[in-house]
């Protein structure tokens, strides 16, 4: 048996030459591959080996001997510890190159795709303070103090922080108020190991176009103590902060006002953040926001894209790929609150949306009414059950276009086989994971489909994640 030349706790100097799918830098020494977090291509570093496998090892960065020309200073003081922004130390242009290459590699290696057009990535004008949704875990530090922040990478240890460079800036004020509330009334934070304590997470949603704020506490119980005081604290004033989100003038101001306060009940011993029941304390059970000309109602449990500026670019790309004429029957699967459905409805004959979360379906129906759209219909259920059942009942009814926007795990194979059996001419697939996108394209390829065009969209600046839109057509088309 060949002896492994690398030992745990040994130190090495090496040059980083690439980035892995999880954002760690890749280097080589003694015919071994090293994955080193917090490094970028071009860095020459000193590392300590922390884990050894048969043909690769993981190293901990000890010292940067010579920084890469593409290395930048992170804006966030806890960027290295936090698991949210894996690429904040890499220049933005190189982040875009990495994401573009990541999508291309997945499509070629996993999907077996060869003849397709990979179009230029849709970049962000400002890759900071772009998220309209935040989920802050609540717990205790090692010395027993209240911790509100984010999980350290690959752990459930909470890094206590008062700021975040990719969240809406208003969250700093919200977190300050809630922190004071929890400390003042000595409301216990949740403890994962003992399944005790009350407050598990803080959910915020911000309507960038409307200035409306939603605040929802996720609790391990049936009642939030001091509800009246909590509501009064959050509603006694309108907040004004400096912001450059979506604006060229960095001195512009944004007014925010809390319009929805609730708590969500999650008493399960689970890593799932939200429970199924929300109790509304004040205001509306939703906030509203706009993408393009459409207005949307968003509830605590509803899916809604986290980057509204880039979402508009993404949806415009969906429409361009769809090339609707007004005569088409369209299915929008995993439709959430109907955001894509309503974009499509302006240019299609009929749109059917399918979503598994009932609250999101109710929001979608209301969003159609708000926008005066009468040619969109929504069903609650799993896409892999709803579409096959519909096709079984109405085999003669043709679908001209299917839009897929699944979660990270991609589509159920049963759904893909139904789409193929229906002989849908065109599929527009919106993906947040290029690996599952490539897998699903490969399955469709076995049933007469081929990838034509792909365009990536950077929805998640400073992270490893990337959104893609793929145009898939039947080969006979």
80 burial type by CB count under 10 A (0-12 exposed, 13-18 middle, 19+ buried): middle
Q: What angle do CA 458, 459, 465 make, to 5 degrees?
A: 80
Cβ atoms < 10 Å from Cβ of 234: 20
The CA dihedral of 393, 399, 403, 407, to the nearest 10 degrees, is 20
Burial class (CB in 10 A: 0-12, 13-18, 19+), 331: buried
Burial class of residue 238, CB neighbours in 10 A (0-12, 13-18, 19+)? exposed
Cβ-based neighbour number of residue 29 at 10 Å: 18
| Contacts for 285 with CB less than 8 Å, ≥ 6 apart | 260, 262, 278, 299, 300
Query: Which one of the listed residues 85, 216, 278, 432 is annotated catalytic?
Result: 432
The whole-angstrom separation of Cα 149 and Cα 127 is 20
All residues at 6 or more sequence positions from 199 whose CB lies less than 8 Å from its CB, including other chains: 138, 182, 187, 188, 189, 190, 217, 218, 219, 220
- 432 catalytic? Reply is yes
The C-alpha R_g of the chain, in whole angstroms, comes to 24
CA–CA gap between residue 419 and residue 422 (Å, rounded)? 5
Dist CA 323 CA 333 (whole Å): 18
Mind telling me the catalytic residues?
Answer: 432
């Amino acid at each position: 048996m060949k002896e492994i030349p690398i030992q745990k706790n040994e130190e090495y100097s090496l040059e980083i030459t690439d980035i892995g799918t999880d954002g760690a830098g890749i280097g080589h020494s003694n015919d071994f591959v090293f994955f080193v977090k917090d490094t970028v291509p071009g860095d020459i570093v000193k590392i300590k080996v922390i884990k050894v496998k048969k043909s690769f090892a993981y190293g901990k960065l000890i010292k940067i001997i010579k920084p890469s020309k593409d290395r930048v200073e992170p804006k966030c003081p806890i960027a290295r510890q936090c698991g949210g922004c894996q690429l904040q130390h890499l220049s933005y242009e190189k982040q875009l190159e990495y994401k573009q290459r990541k999508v291309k590699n997945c499509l070629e290696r996993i999907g077996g795709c060869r003849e397709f057009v990979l179009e230029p990535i849709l970049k962000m004008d400002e890759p900071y303070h772009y998220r309209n949704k935040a989920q802050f875990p609540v717990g205790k530090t090692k010395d027993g103090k209240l911790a509100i922040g984010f999980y350290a990478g690959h752990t459930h240890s909470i890094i206590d922080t008062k700021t975040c460079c990719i969240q809406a800036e208003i969250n700093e004020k919200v977190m300050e108020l809630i922190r004071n509330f929890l400390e003042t009334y000595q409301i216990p934070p949740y403890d994962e190991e003992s399944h005790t304590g009350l407050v598990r997470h803080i959910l915020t949603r911000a309507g960038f176009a409307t200035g409306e704020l939603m605040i929802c506490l996720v609790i391990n119980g049936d009642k939030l103590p001091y509800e009246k005081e909590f509501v009064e604290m959050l509603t006694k004033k309108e907040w004004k902060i400096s912001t450059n989100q979506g604006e060229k003038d960095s001195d512009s101001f944004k007014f925010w006002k809390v319009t929805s306060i609730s708590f969500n009940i999650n008493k399960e011993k689970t890593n799932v953040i939200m429970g199924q029941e929300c109790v509304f304390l004040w205001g509306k059970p939703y906030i509203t926001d706009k993408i393009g000309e459409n207005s949307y109602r968003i509830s605590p449990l509803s899916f809604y894209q986290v980057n509204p500026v880039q979402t508009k670019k993404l949806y415009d790309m969906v429409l361009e790929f769809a090339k609707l004429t007004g005569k088409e029957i369209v299915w929008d699967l995993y439709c959430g609150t109907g955001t894509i459905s309503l974009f499509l409805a302006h240019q299609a004959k009929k749109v059917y949306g399918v979503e598994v979360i009932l609250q999101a379906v109710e929001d979608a129906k209301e969003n159609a009414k708000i926008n005066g759209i009468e040619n969109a219909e929504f069903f609650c259920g799993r896409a892999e059950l709803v579409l096959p059942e519909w096709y079984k009942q109405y085999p003669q009814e043709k679908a001209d276009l299917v839009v897929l926007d699944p979660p990270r795990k991609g589509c159920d194979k049963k759904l893909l086989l139904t789409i193929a059996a229906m002989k849908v001419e065109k599929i527009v697939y919106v993906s947040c994971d290029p690996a599952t996108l490539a897998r699903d394209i490969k399955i469709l390829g076995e049933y007469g489909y081929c990838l034509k065009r792909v365009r990536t969209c950077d929805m998640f600046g400073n992270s490893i994640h990337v959104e893609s839109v793929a145009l898939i057509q039947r080969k006979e088309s």
